[in-house]
Amino acid sequence: MDTLQPIEKESIRNASELLFNSKYAIVLTGAGISTESGIPDFRGESGIWKKYKPKIYGSIQSFLKDPSKFWKMAEEIAPTLFNAEPNPGHYAIADLEKLNIIKAIITQNIDELHQKAGNVIVYEVHGNINRFTCLGCRASYTKEQLLRKLKKEKNLPPGCNYCGAPLKPSVVLFGESLPNFEKYMSIDIAKKSDVMLIAGSSLTVTPVCDLPLYTLSEGGKIIIVNDEPTYLDERAEIVINNKTETILPLIVEEIKKIKAEHESKTHN
């Protein structure tokens, strides 16, 4: 806390009060929450994304053109994704759910780190890395089934047991639409929420970057924690340009203090 600017300390206090007094707060996260866990975001296109430009390699068009190229990239990235552990930012969000401050998380991440940290109500609008679908007959495979298959057949792209068509991870690629349930659910809860806490997203990937607009248009407020500015900073109640792994645990600490103050007042 001591390395923070006074303005940041004030923003943490204000954000905590806003969340504590909310009726239906939700969280929207992006790749920035997982960078501390060793998974690079798409900003700066450093490291792995310099080699595999996400908009090119991660599009459905290039997948369909050459699935084996996509799978070679996936094999290289998979260990980082599968072995990543949650960081203090994820654990803080898990605490917010346990404290019943937030009612749900909408995440663009596919890494399952929110669930690993202990969150239960998580809408994964871009899918996750634990299921694989056949592009021919829609047969579905678990991660374990796929790993066994890759070991046995050593074939890229892995082909469906039933129809032979290529398998694709159940993640939303550029050019694909969101899964229906998650799409409508996230719009619904964004409209319903009186406070949306946005953490670690550049708010540049459509259609997720429009979700906060539903909250704003229904009179809700947004709080942004991100280490660079976003297009919604001007419309946000509070903006904290700092690391999620630093700020979110401080917000939880502050909420616990407010809660204790509140409880001691109501008991006296």
Ligand X SMILES: NC(=O)c1ccc[n+]([C@@H]2O[C@H](COP(=O)([O-])OP(=O)(O)OC[C@H]3O[C@@H](n4cnc5c(N)ncnc54)[C@H](O)[C@@H]3O)[C@@H](O)[C@H]2O)c1
Pairing of strands 102-107, 25-29: parallel
Concatenated DSSP letters for 70-116?
HHHHHHHHHHHHHH----HHHHHHHHHHHTTSEEEEEE---S-HHHH
**Which residues share a beta bridge with 132?**
141, 169
Residue 236: count other Cβ atoms within 10 Å of its Cβ.
Answer: 17
User: Residues 69-108: x/- map of binding to ligand X (CB under 6 A)?
Assistant: ---------------------------------------x
If binding is defined by CB under 5 A, does position 134 make contact with Zn ion?
Answer: yes
Which residue is at the shortest CB distance from Zn ion? 160
If binding is defined by CB under 6 A, does position 126 make contact with ligand X?
Answer: yes
Options 90, 126, 262, 267, the catalytic residue:
126
If binding is defined by CB under 5 A, does position 162 make contact with Zn ion?
Answer: yes
Distance separating alpha carbons of residues 160 and 44, to the nearest angstrom: 36
Judged by CB under 5 A, the stretch of 72-80, 101-109, 159-167, 184-192 that binds Zn ion is 159-167
The residue written with tokens 């997203």 in the block is: 201
Q: What does the block give as tokens for 253?
A: 């600490």
State which residue, 136 or 179, has the beta carbon closest to Zn ion. Answer: 136
Judged by CB under 6 A, the stretch of 97-105, 115-123, 216-224, 243-251 that binds ligand X is 243-251
Q: What residue type is assigned to position 211 of the chain?
A: L
Contact pick of 22, 35, 115, 170 for ligand X (by CB under 6 A): 35
User: Residues 92-131: x/- map of binding to Zn ion (CB under 5 A)?
Assistant: ----------------------------------------
Judged by CB under 6 A, the stretch of 69-77, 158-166, 177-185, 195-203 that binds ligand X is 195-203
Contact pick of 200, 220, 223, 240 for ligand X (by CB under 6 A): 200
Which whole-number Å values give the CA distances from 74 to 80, 158, 254, in the listed order?
10, 12, 40
> Catalytic site residue 90?
no
Distance separating alpha carbons of residues 116 and 119, to the nearest angstrom: 7
- Max Cα distance, the chain (Å): 70
Contact pick of 11, 62, 115, 244 for ligand X (by CB under 6 A): 244
Pairing of strands 140-142, 127-134: antiparallel
Partner from ligand X, Zn ion, none binding residue 43, C-beta < 5-8 Å depending on class:
ligand X
Residues 46 and 52 sit within 8 Å (Cβ to Cβ): no
If binding is defined by CB under 5 A, does position 163 make contact with Zn ion?
Answer: yes
Element (H, E) at 249: helix 244-267
In the complex, the smallest distance separating the C-beta of residue 70 from Zn ion, rounded to whole angstroms, is 17
Contact pick of 27, 41, 62, 197 for ligand X (by CB under 6 A): 41
Contact pick of 40, 136, 179, 249 for Zn ion (by CB under 5 A): 136
If binding is defined by CB under 6 A, does position 24 make contact with ligand X?
Answer: no
Residues 130 and 142 sit within 8 Å (Cβ to Cβ): yes
Partner from Zn ion, ligand X, none binding residue 134, C-beta < 5-8 Å depending on class:
Zn ion
Catalytic residues: 126
